[in-house]
Amino acid sequence: MSQSEFTEAIGSIFEHTPEIAAEAWRSRPFTDVQNLHQIMAAIVLKMSDAEKLKLICAHPDLGSKFKMAEASEQEQSTVGLDQLSATEYAHFQKLNQDYKEKFSFPFIIAVRNHTKDSILAAFEKRLQNNLEVEKQQAIVEIIEIARWRLTLAIE
């Protein structure tokens, strides 16, 4: 594949950040999907703080009713975040707002590793963290989300 074809094929693995795939292309050939994921994760970890923050901010709020990337919609639907009751929706919106007010970026979690209840518990727990811990945790979660997306894209 050319770099543009490769980027087109997997550029959405990291939310609205196809430049990660474009850079990973330079490290081909890949031995397997895990190797590709490791290379992409290393690219993310080497990003500047500003680039990491941009990547974090590219993610949607959990339980949002606003249009989001198809992969995010699918992920959130796996734990029922697309079918929240009015009370649940209000609770998620309040947590999203509290989190954004404290950290200035959206709460990110690899939803495929969780249930609706464990996501709510993580929200509450992580709201107690400081900014640096949450930035690091957001990147860890983003890398895990990318692992899931790559795995599912290959299946």
Tokens for 101?
Answer: 């007010």
Question: And the tokens for 11?
Answer: 């550029």
Q: Report how far residue 140's alpha carbon sits from residue 145's, in angstroms, rounded to the nearest whole number.
A: 9
Closest CA to 62 of 119, 101, 113, 130: 119
Report the 3 state secondary structure along 70-88: HHHHHHHHCCCCCCCCHHH
Q: Which of 16, 59, 91, 114 is catalytic?
A: 59
For helices 131-154 and 33-45, the axis angle rounded to 10 degrees is 150
16 is catalytic: no
Catalytic residue numbers? 59
